[in-house]
Chain A
């Protein structure tokens, strides 16, 4: 800071005059922004380490799938796959929380620090920035989700035969579910991002996103179980976590309505979760265009 260039205040001459604002530029800029913050690396490290750690823990415990049922040695082939998948996707629960925070921070961090003013003077149309941020977050969280889930699976599957579970990589249901888990993490990240973009404050955004992922399903689940109300149970089915869970469950149920109870299949579940992203994202986009930054 002592080397102020008071003598030669030339503005320089090597600027490419032809350069202009492009969406590709905005995408690359948002990528640089996300990956030049330590918090991003911390979030990813936490998810990967905890996923592998819990996966290892689970895969070393022999357990019956249902209380009172025979132990794993007696499980059917598909039940073994279900158990193996449950162990490999144990990280999704942690991942959705950590990535909810990351998704909220990706936008509220700009408001709390004032960065948003720099961002929107560089890209004053605003919508490309919101789309660019969402795209970078989606791809990044999906890739980290893939690394987490396939990494955990690759580490624990060789151990599982020790507790009489024999995972089969050739089973398309299993592989699809691992991809689905990564897609689930990416979509939850986008839901949280959209909520953050609407609320604009870090504390409020994180509270809302975590509330939606963690508190709302728990509370509604308890109410629905204790009251036995069909409509309540049917609402729970459409919550982002409950609907999204079908993306990483083995095979998944049929989409149907029996005795007034709604069941979704994995495609429907994925679409419901997608809607949980799209609707708040559109609201966020409208607000971004209208509000003063």
Chain B
């Protein structure tokens, strides 16, 4: 399990990750969705100790990454495909990685076969295509047969066959009880791979919910309800064509009731509400809207007409 608490990263006066809290549970694929520049990679780099958090913390199975006794056996990491010396062969790269943990040549050859790299294993990585680089990245992530996998944009640059391979592999690894945390900026990709989705925009978590709810959110209108009595209130709200997701212990995202109706129900049954927020528009619109001012990656104004899923005040 991966657990982040108040995780924050600032680069100068720019806040890349803004005090986020989340948990990534074993036994399912958790998608990390957000546009480029949302802070996904920075978050993943902090998980594995490459970047130091400005404040807050993140642990894997209760420990900081640097405190793990056998990092490669506990966590498999694919941060970017080209985190490899271009002058070295794929085989030598994997062997050098494996040797730190006393993992033998047999396992190196296994992951090479597993990722379909046999024909290029002895060639220098400098000549690899992006797709082959991704496969090599996957091979090094799998070297230690880890219980937690952190994959940053693993399908980036892969051909359709490779995309299906990663998707199948991710699902298979999760079905074995492993924690699989993978990022993408493509909602469609996430919908097909993930069980749970954490949506990040401008360093903040916009949503953290099962994939079905996220798709529901994207399709229609939803209302976010914050109440200390969430479990009891959820039962009161239940009904035909109503979907309720429990994103946090005290938060419900309700599809199918209007905010007014929920407010009346709460008053009628004396449930205290801390928040009642109508959410509108799709998630993709939402994070595009959130990053609209991000000049760095701004392309054009084509999204001006969309309705952002900003809380309607």
A-side interface residues toward B, CB under 8 Å?
A: 1-6, 9-17, 19-22, 25-26, 28-30, 32-33, 36-39, 109-110, 113-118, 120-126, 290, 292-293
Contacts of A21 in B (CB 8 A): 69-72, 100-101
Question: Complex formed: what's the CA distance from A277 to B99 in Å?
Answer: 28
Total number of B residues with any Cβ neighbor in A under 8 Å: 66
Smallest CB-CB A-B distances: 4 pairs: A36-B92, A20-B70, A9-B169, A15-B145
Does B182 lie at the interface of the complex (its beta carbon under 8 Å from any beta carbon of A)? no
Does B142 lie at the interface of the complex (its beta carbon under 8 Å from any beta carbon of A)? yes
Question: Are B70's CB and A28's CB within 8 A?
Answer: no
Question: Are B120's CB and A26's CB within 8 A?
Answer: no
Question: Are A15's CB and B84's CB within 8 A?
Answer: no
Does B236 lie at the interface of the complex (its beta carbon under 8 Å from any beta carbon of A)? no
Q: Choose among A33, A120, A290 the residue that contacts B50 (Cβ–Cβ < 8 A).
A: A120
Q: Choose among A11, A15, A29, A37 the residue that contacts B100 (Cβ–Cβ < 8 A).
A: A29
Question: Complex formed: what's the CA distance from A190 to B48 in Å?
Answer: 29
Does B73 lie at the interface of the complex (its beta carbon under 8 Å from any beta carbon of A)? yes
Q: Choose among B88, B97, B103 the residue that contacts A19 (Cβ–Cβ < 8 A).
A: B103
Contacts of A124 in B (CB 8 A): 48-49, 65-66, 68, 71
Q: A3-B116, A117-B83, A124-B71 are in contact. List 17 more A-B contacts (CB 8 A).
A: A1-B116, A5-B115, A6-B161, A9-B172, A12-B110, A15-B103, A16-B104, A16-B107, A21-B71, A30-B96, A32-B95, A32-B96, A32-B99, A33-B92, A36-B88, A39-B87, A114-B83
Question: Complex formed: what's the CA distance from A38 to B23 in Å?
Answer: 44
Question: Are A20's CB and B69's CB within 8 A?
Answer: yes
Instruction: Write out, one digit per residue, whether chain B residues 49-61 have a CB within 8 A of any chain A CB (1) or not (0).
Output: 1111000000000
- In B69-125, the 8 Å CB interface with A consists of 69-73, 75, 77, 79-80, 82-89, 92-93, 95-97, 99-104, 106-107, 110-111, 113-120
Contacts of B135 in A (CB 8 A): 1
B178 → chain A closest CB, angstroms: 8
Instruction: Contacts A4-B162, A114-B84, A121-B48 given; indicate if A14 touches B71 (C-beta within 8 A).
Output: no
Question: Which residue of chain A has the shortest Cβ distance to B103 in the bound complex?
Answer: A19
A202 → chain B closest CB, angstroms: 12
Q: Choose among B73, B84, B131, B169 the residue that contacts A118 (Cβ–Cβ < 8 A).
A: B84
What are 14 sample pairs from A and B whose C-beta atoms fall under 8 A apart? Answer: A1-B116, A1-B131, A4-B162, A13-B145, A19-B144, A20-B101, A22-B101, A26-B100, A28-B100, A29-B97, A29-B99, A36-B96, A39-B87, A120-B50
Does B173 lie at the interface of the complex (its beta carbon under 8 Å from any beta carbon of A)? yes
Contacts of B107 in A (CB 8 A): 12, 14-16
Of B45, B50, B65, B106, which is in contact with the most chain A CB atoms at under 10 Å from its CB? B50
Question: Are A122's CB and B97's CB within 8 A?
Answer: yes
Question: Are B165's CB and A1's CB within 8 A?
Answer: no
Question: Are B85's CB and A115's CB within 8 A?
Answer: yes
Contacts of A19 in B (CB 8 A): 70, 73, 101-103, 144
A122 → chain B closest CB, angstroms: 5
Question: Complex formed: what's the CA distance from A22 to B100 in Å?
Answer: 7
Question: Are B106's CB and A14's CB within 8 A?
Answer: yes
Q: Choose among A3, A36, A110, A118 the residue that contacts B89 (Cβ–Cβ < 8 A).
A: A36
Question: Are A15's CB and B85's CB within 8 A?
Answer: no
A31 → chain B closest CB, angstroms: 9
B62 → chain A closest CB, angstroms: 16
Contacts of A2 in B (CB 8 A): 116
Question: Are A114's CB and B101's CB within 8 A?
Answer: no
Contacts of A30 in B (CB 8 A): 96
Q: Choose among B86, B110, B118 the residue that contacts A3 (Cβ–Cβ < 8 A).
A: B118
Contacts of B84 in A (CB 8 A): 113-115, 118
Question: Are B50's CB and A117's CB within 8 A?
Answer: yes
Does B258 lie at the interface of the complex (its beta carbon under 8 Å from any beta carbon of A)? no
Q: Choose among B71, B106, B172 the residue that contacts A122 (Cβ–Cβ < 8 A).
A: B71
Question: Complex formed: what's the CA distance from A32 to B95 in Å?
Answer: 8
Question: Complex formed: what's the CA distance from A121 to B103 in Å?
Answer: 15
Question: Complex formed: what's the CA distance from A199 to B169 in Å?
Answer: 40
Question: Which residue of chain A has the shortest Cβ distance to B140 in the bound complex?
Answer: A118
Question: Which residue of chain A has the shortest Cβ distance to B141 in the bound complex?
Answer: A121
